[in-house]
Chain A
Amino acid sequence: MPMPALTTPPAPNVKLRMEHVDMLFERDGKSVSVLEDINLEVRDGEFVCLVGPSGCGKSTLLNVVSGFLSPTSGSVTIDGEVVRGPDPRRILVFQDRGVFPWLTVEGNIGFGLSNLRVAERDQRIAHYVQMMRLQGFEETYPSDLSGGMKQRLQVARALAVNPDILYLDEPFGALDSVTRLIMRGELLRIWQTERRTIIFVTHDIDEAVQLADRVVVLSSRPAKIQDILTIDIAHPRNISSTRYLEHRDDLLRKIGVAYTV
């Protein structure tokens, strides 16, 4: 299928494909169109950011792709298999309250591992405690963790079940800007070592340009794919380099925001 906005030729190793995805919500007897004809292919191991104005339907799209909502029409396929519901092979990370407050750090990371043998489970937990730098907090409850640590914990719980795709719904949106910057670095580090496919929803333009291989720009409601930008800068990215700034300005222009304050 031709993909007009795709700047690179379609790769053979397509992981996830959205085809003519439409979403209508019934509200007060009227039907409101939220997503309109979304077509997108995501390659295996690719990091894709979805950006767009708040309330445009980014999260709705992520909920459709992850199987929590069924599209009104169109389809989402992963490895050629139609998505019919949430699936532990693809984990959604939420912005807020995503970790279980009644479980410790260890309990949360091990949440999806109950069918493993105890030894293997403990080993997996220890591995992700280490990776997410949560050492010393294994027995701690989330109410005693900082916002950044809670999000690291949520990512650790997701990675522990070894998913092939990670969906992140503005995961750092509730954090302060310094923590957010650190968390992006951590996420990239994990993505580079574990090589999962990541679809990341954000309204933060810098975040998208720092993280993504490709940035998908959605229009305001109903959300359509307005543009797709390829960010061909190797990691780690220098966020004051000319290339970086060019990409960022390009994105700002495409979203239609002036870049003076």
Chain B
Amino acid sequence: MSPLVRLRPVAFIAVLLTVWQVAVNRHPGQLLPGPWGVLRGIGDLLHHGLLLKYVVASLFRVTWGFLLAAVIAIPLGLTIGWYRRSEMAFNPLVQVFRPISPLAWIPIAILWFGVGDLAAIFLIFVGCFFPLLVTAMSAVHNVPSVYVNVGRNFGLNTADFLYRVLYPAVVPQLIIGSRITLGIAWLVVVAAEMIAVNSGLGFLIVDARNAGNRYDLVIGGMVIIGTIGLLLDSGMRSLERVKSFRWGYSEN
């Protein structure tokens, strides 16, 4: 891409910000705070040390919830997917749980864990568990039988087979699934923090409104959430460029 093409989204954002500022200047106090006001709000948060604290709190919950879910759901899903019979047993249950919004678990999370980090982590765990489970199950199904047969032909034992054939064959699909799931986790954490805890970016948004209609902070929080979401996604996406995974993303 030429530098000019790369600049296009930046230019577009600049235009939108200008329109926003002009609109706010024409009708002060009616629509929203302007981008300048939002920027000052973010500056306030930085100044009071709240921004860093809330970002860290949110990322901490997402990391734990997501990792716990990954550590349990991925091996479980791979195992269930590998043994067709266990899949027949598990699948109906999985399909019932899957469409339940993680937010529906909020009362139970508070009942079990009280208001605090554990409740938020639990909600993220629930939100990540089923997408990861389903990803792992279908990743196993999609392994071409040729790879399995080659592994058998070369006389691999079970451990070698798992590590040298099955694992590399499913990794590209697991990365795609994890990327989508991490996006879900980031959505869930904001909602969870609005109810189940007293810190984090979700709490910031509710608190800014409740404690004095600071809409500059509400929008500032939204901007921060969006930016971090983008960074998380591009971090996961960079895994897709690893050479030994790349085959999974283009027909070959």
**Contacts across chains A and B counted by CB atoms under 8 Å:** 60
* Count of B interface residues, CB-CB < 8 Å: 23
Chain B residue numbers with a CB within 8 Å of A161 are 154
Residue of B nearest to A150 (CB): B252
Q: How far is the CB of B242 from chain A (nearest CB, A)?
A: 10
Residue B150, interface by CB 8 Å: yes
A100 and B150 contacting across the interface, CB-CB below 8 Å: yes
How distant is the Cα of A111 from the Cα of B247 in the complex, in angstroms?
Answer: 18
Residue A244, interface by CB 8 Å: no
A102 and B146 contacting across the interface, CB-CB below 8 Å: no
B152 and A68 contacting across the interface, CB-CB below 8 Å: yes
B149 and A111 contacting across the interface, CB-CB below 8 Å: no
Bitwise interface map of A from 132 to 162 toward B, beta carbon under 8 Å scored 1, else 0: 0000000001110000000000000000010
Residue of A nearest to B243 (CB): A141
A66-B153, A102-B168, A111-B154 given; A141·B246 CB < 8 A = yes
Residue B158, interface by CB 8 Å: no
CB within 8 Å of B: which of A113-133? 114
Residue A88, interface by CB 8 Å: yes
Chain B residue numbers with a CB within 8 Å of A85 are 152
Residue B83, interface by CB 8 Å: no
How distant is the Cα of A112 from the Cα of B157 in the complex, in angstroms?
Answer: 12
* Count of A interface residues, CB-CB < 8 Å: 23
- CB < 8 Å neighbour of A141 from B149, B165, B244: B244
Dominant secondary structure of chain B at its interface with chain A: helix
Q: How far is the CB of A232 from chain B (nearest CB, A)?
A: 33
- CB < 8 Å neighbour of B146 from A66, A94, A112, A141: A94
A143 and B154 contacting across the interface, CB-CB below 8 Å: no
Dominant secondary structure of chain A at its interface with chain B: loop
How distant is the Cα of A142 from the Cα of B150 in the complex, in angstroms?
Answer: 16
Bitwise interface map of B from 57 to 70 toward A, beta carbon under 8 Å scored 1, else 0: 00000000000000
Chain B residue numbers with a CB within 8 Å of A91 are 153-154
Bitwise interface map of B from 78 to 121 toward A, beta carbon under 8 Å scored 1, else 0: 00000000000000000000000000000000000000000000
B247 and A141 contacting across the interface, CB-CB below 8 Å: yes
Chain B residue numbers with a CB within 8 Å of A141 are 243-244, 246-247
B149 and A68 contacting across the interface, CB-CB below 8 Å: yes
B152 and A102 contacting across the interface, CB-CB below 8 Å: no
How distant is the Cα of A87 from the Cα of B152 in the complex, in angstroms?
Answer: 8
B152 and A86 contacting across the interface, CB-CB below 8 Å: yes
A97-B144, A112-B154 given; A86·B149 CB < 8 A = yes
Bitwise interface map of B from 122 to 152 toward A, beta carbon under 8 Å scored 1, else 0: 0000000000000000000000101101101
A114 and B160 contacting across the interface, CB-CB below 8 Å: yes
Residue B204, interface by CB 8 Å: no
Residue of B nearest to A88 (CB): B155
- CB < 8 Å neighbour of B247 from A68, A112, A143: A143
Residue A56, interface by CB 8 Å: no
Chain B residue numbers with a CB within 8 Å of A68 are 149, 152-153
CB within 8 Å of B: which of A51-86? 66, 68, 85-86
A101-B247, A143-B247 given; A92·B153 CB < 8 A = yes
Chain B residue numbers with a CB within 8 Å of A87 are 153, 155
Chain A residue numbers with a CB within 8 Å of B247 are 101-102, 141-143
Bitwise interface map of B from 236 to 247 toward A, beta carbon under 8 Å scored 1, else 0: 000000011111
Chain B residue numbers with a CB within 8 Å of A103 are 168, 244
Residue B30, interface by CB 8 Å: no
How distant is the Cα of A161 from the Cα of B154 in the complex, in angstroms?
Answer: 8
Residue B2, interface by CB 8 Å: no
Residue of B nearest to A145 (CB): B252
Residue A37, interface by CB 8 Å: no
Residue B169, interface by CB 8 Å: yes
Residue A96, interface by CB 8 Å: yes
**What 7 A-B pairs come out closest when comparing CB atoms?**
A101-B247, A143-B252, A88-B155, A102-B168, A112-B154, A86-B153, A102-B244
